[in-house]
Chain A
Amino acid sequence: MGEVIRFIQKQKFLLFFLIFESFSFYLIVNYNQTQKETFFSSSNRFAATVLEISGNTRGYFFLKKANDELSRENAYLKTLLPEQSVINIDDLFDFSYETPENSNYTYIPAKVINNSINKSNNYITLNSGENHNVKAGMGVISPRGLVGIVSNVSSHYATVLSLLNTKFRVSAKLRDSDYFGSLSWDGKSYRQVVLSEIPAHAPVHIGEAVVTSGYSAIFPEGILIGIVENFIIEEGEGFYTIKVKLSVDFKNLNYVTTVEKITADEQHELENITYEY
């Protein structure tokens, strides 16, 4: 027994190193498996507050561009409205986000307070959380296109699994021909993602728009992702590998919208029943 105690005292440094190191690896492995809300992520209060202050300051430098983007989007949306509908100015400032009966999706605005593009698993932090009805699993879009999926929420903040994350998958289609495939990021460039599983007989041409397919219950159909930059077909394979140039500039992301399909639960329930048989 005395031997053991003497050994421990002598190797205290190594022992504590191993204890702390196993704690770190526990965090790494645990977090990667479950994506649960963990204390050590930036939706926690302390980090989020510091990041919000820094994000607010940074936001001023992009106000002009953000304004420009929003007014363009407004103009586009106005062209979609039927002529006779009159917008009541009071409705615009009613932030209870009541959605009309016939609408399938709810939209909640949010501001980006932290963002990265240079890791293999990038996350974005938003300043809207449970208190603003943001929930895990909602889609995140910007005026320029698809951004990511909400992964964790706290009461005031939310972290988003960015499109620039090797764990991210979404169903996407070619806008002109409607052939759909699976879209993911290869971790190489922040301007490019890869669309695979498009069958070889589909007509593909460079410059064609790639949009969300709307099959998953997260994003509405037709949200822009990017345009086809180039495509190859490996010999002996029946599918294209298409490089898609992103429409969203992730280096410069300020205002986004989270979107949720109101009937998502219903769709999931029905699909689960079907797959069971």
Chain B
Amino acid sequence: MNINYLSKYLFSFILYVLLFQALIISNINFGVYITPYIYILFILILPIEIAGILLLLLCLLTGLTIDMFQNSPGVHASATLFLGFMRPFILKSIAPRDGFEPGISPTPAYLGFAWFFKYVIICTILHHIFLFMVEAFSFVNIGNTLINMVLSSIATVCFIMIIRLFASSNKKRK
């Protein structure tokens, strides 16, 4: 990881995890059932070759940061770790026919919007299933938990796609 990467992803951490998630989205009330967690975007767009322990450490750090703001020690950390653990397998299973070019990130700029949309949906669903099950920690209110899961997943995917739409249109203008 060179220094260029470091500044770029530090910026994306501050933007997505701290600013968007902790300070803006968590403070908007979408109703009891909908809570978008867009901070996973930070994990999603890390370069493809980041795998192994570095990836897991970044997931743990992201999860614990969100936990600090949400007063839920461990809940987001465990769900984000699960996402990080699954990411290499997801990328492998939906890779283009001739594999990924070396050194790219899984963003629409490199792989197109349709591919990115598929990728975001799979990751969001896995993360949210784990997250809401851990948050509820029981099967008593399973109906509520499921509604939460489905509606929040839809909201998260929508938000992530909107954010990336702006991010990539900025790049083109430059």
Q: Which chain B residues border A114 with CB–CB below 8 Å?
A: 69
Contact across chains for A58 and B27 when beta carbons are under 8 A apart: yes
Give the interface size bracket for B toward A: 35 or more
Contact across chains for A25 and B135 when beta carbons are under 8 A apart: no
Residue A169 CB within 8 A of the other chain:
no
Interfacial residues, chain B to chain A (CB-CB below 8 A): 18, 22-23, 26-27, 29-35, 51-53, 56-57, 59-60, 63-64, 67-75, 77-78, 81-82, 84-85, 88, 134-137, 141, 144
| A212-B141 Cα distance, complex, nearest whole Å | 28
Q: Which chain B residues border A268 with CB–CB below 8 Å?
A: none
Interface SS of chain B: helix, strand, loop or mixed? helix
Q: Which chain A residues border B51 with CB–CB below 8 Å?
A: 13
CB distance from A57 to the nearest CB of B (A): 10
| A121-B100 Cα distance, complex, nearest whole Å | 42
CB distance from B34 to the nearest CB of A (A): 8
Q: Which chain B residues border A41 with CB–CB below 8 Å?
A: 68, 71, 73
| A151-B46 Cα distance, complex, nearest whole Å | 38
Residue from B23, B32, B70, B71 within 8 A of A190 (CB atoms): B32
Residues 174-199 of A at the B interface (beta carbon under 8 Å): 187-190
| A31-B27 Cα distance, complex, nearest whole Å | 24
Residues 141-169 of A at the B interface (beta carbon under 8 Å): 159
Contact across chains for A16 and B78 when beta carbons are under 8 A apart: no
Q: Which chain B residues border A121 with CB–CB below 8 Å?
A: 72
CB distance from A186 to the nearest CB of B (A): 9
Contact across chains for B74 and A47 when beta carbons are under 8 A apart: no
| A271-B137 Cα distance, complex, nearest whole Å | 34
Residue A74 CB within 8 A of the other chain:
no
Contact across chains for A26 and B74 when beta carbons are under 8 A apart: yes
Contact across chains for A119 and B135 when beta carbons are under 8 A apart: yes
Q: Which chain B residues border A20 with CB–CB below 8 Å?
A: 56-57, 59-60, 77, 81
Residue A72 CB within 8 A of the other chain:
no
